[in-house]
Amino acid sequence: MTLRTIYFDESGYTGYNLLDPAQPVFAISSALISDGEAEAILRESFPTYQGAEFKFSNIWRTNARSGLLTFAGNLESFTDTAFTYMINKRFGVLTKIVDFLIEPIVTNAGYDFYADGFCWKYCNYIYYGLTEFAPPELLDRLLTIYQEFSRNPTPQSLAVLQGRLRLMAQSLEEPVQIFLEQMADGAEAFAHFTSIETFKSSNELHTTSMVAIISHWRQRFPDDFAVVHDASSTFLRQRRMWENITNPDVPEQIHRGGDGSETPFPLRVVSTEAVDSKDHFAIQFCDVLAGLCVKHFGSPADHPDRVFLDKVIQAGLGTLTYNGIRPSLIFPDHIPPKPLDGPDVVDQLAMLIRDSESRRS
């Protein structure tokens, strides 16, 4: 079996503060690239760079920024071997509200909230409703009060969240009132479906993103994967979960993703190694790519950097493959979702992790 080494690096991480206005996007870039190939591209793109290693943050602040056009020009050959997963953090918080407050009630009523990507499409539907038919400050207020709870989940903070959501729901009118009513109902039933103790890691981004990236590569290649990431980052804070999900002894099965995609398991990750990025140009390549993606997806049309970033897109950044958690105009085909027929996506993954943990014990 062929072994493919996948390098990872991140940009835009702000810990559990997912509403930091200075860093609205988080991204992890991955690439199937050798150190030699990465070094050649980086040195060609930034010939006067003086740092100990190629870092996007340093490149962006200096005259080396113009080299990003050369860097982007080299990306067309990586159309099938580079992939970035990004999260619009504000939209990411909204998806967590839907996942933890609305989904349990819908599933308990006998519907498959994740079938055919319904959850993702419904998040788009709510986002559109709140941005088009509600006061401009409503979405910001909603995200803020939920983040306050999720960063400090206690029975007391849950009670505060319950009161605030119910009050917001009562103060609104259709068509958005129903969304806040669903959230308020979910908050009031929260303790029935979710443990406060396990909920404390709900703001974690890395493991979710890395699993999504490996799933992308697994859908395309039947090979084994060696994962290499920067040791200085906060990758795999939930390393135990990562090891359970990527356990090679997981029975063969097809796992449905929240977006409706299907990934064969096991994921065929045979090793996960943390290394010093200074010693690996391939990780530095991913650092530059991730930083560039964060700048692109985090800069609105009227941003002063937009003209330069559009040139970077035209130079080659636009040829790469991206996915992630961000709003779009793709809505549910029908409401409610399909009836539940067996374990849903979350239950399937939970059983996989539980079984893997049992085998390790």
Q: Parallel, antiparallel, or unpaired for β 25-31 and 82-88?
A: antiparallel
Query: How far apart, in whole angstroms, are the C-alpha atoms of residue 95 and residue 101?
Result: 10
pLDDT of residue 27 exceeding 90, the answer is: yes
Residue 236 sits at the vertex; the CA angle it makes with 231 and 237, to the nearest 5 degrees, is 105
For the chain, how many structural domains are there in total?
1
pLDDT grade for 343, boundaries at 50, 70 and 90: confident
pLDDT of residue 350 exceeding 80, the answer is: no
pLDDT in tens, 121-155: 999 999 999 999 999 899 999 999 999 999 999 99
pLDDT grade for 357, boundaries at 50, 70 and 90: confident
Q: Residue 192 falls within a domain, yes or no? A: yes
pLDDT of residue 77 exceeding 80, the answer is: yes
Q: What is the side-by-side order of every strand in the sheet holding 3-11?
A: 269-275, 224-230, 3-11, 25-31, 82-88, 321-325
pLDDT of residue 37 exceeding 80, the answer is: yes
Q: Residue 156 falls within a domain, yes or no? A: yes
Residue 346 structural domain: 90-202+338-360
Cα torsion angle, 296, 299, 302, 305, sign: negative
Q: Residue 127 falls within a domain, yes or no? A: yes
Q: Residue 216 falls within a domain, yes or no? A: no
pLDDT in tens, 305-335: 999 999 999 999 999 999 999 999 999 999 9
Q: At what angle do helices 136-151 and 89-97 cross, to 10 degrees?
A: 70
Query: How far apart, in whole angstroms, are the C-alpha atoms of residue 236 and residue 85?
Result: 15
Question: Which residues lie closer than 8 Å to 145 by C-beta, 6 or more apart?
Answer: 160, 161, 164, 165
**Which carries the bigger pLDDT value, residue 51 or residue 291?**
291
Q: Residue 294 falls within a domain, yes or no? A: no
Q: Residue 232 falls within a domain, yes or no? A: no
Q: Residue 102 falls within a domain, yes or no? A: yes
What's the pLDDT at 233?
66
What integer is the mean pLDDT of 269-283? 95
pTM of the model: 0.93
> What tokens does 265 get?
């398991």
Q: Residue 279 falls within a domain, yes or no? A: no
Q: Parallel, antiparallel, or unpaired for β 321-325 and 82-88?
A: parallel
Report the chain's mean pLDDT, rounded to a whole number: 92
- 172-176, 252-256, 345-349: the lowest-pLDDT one: 345-349
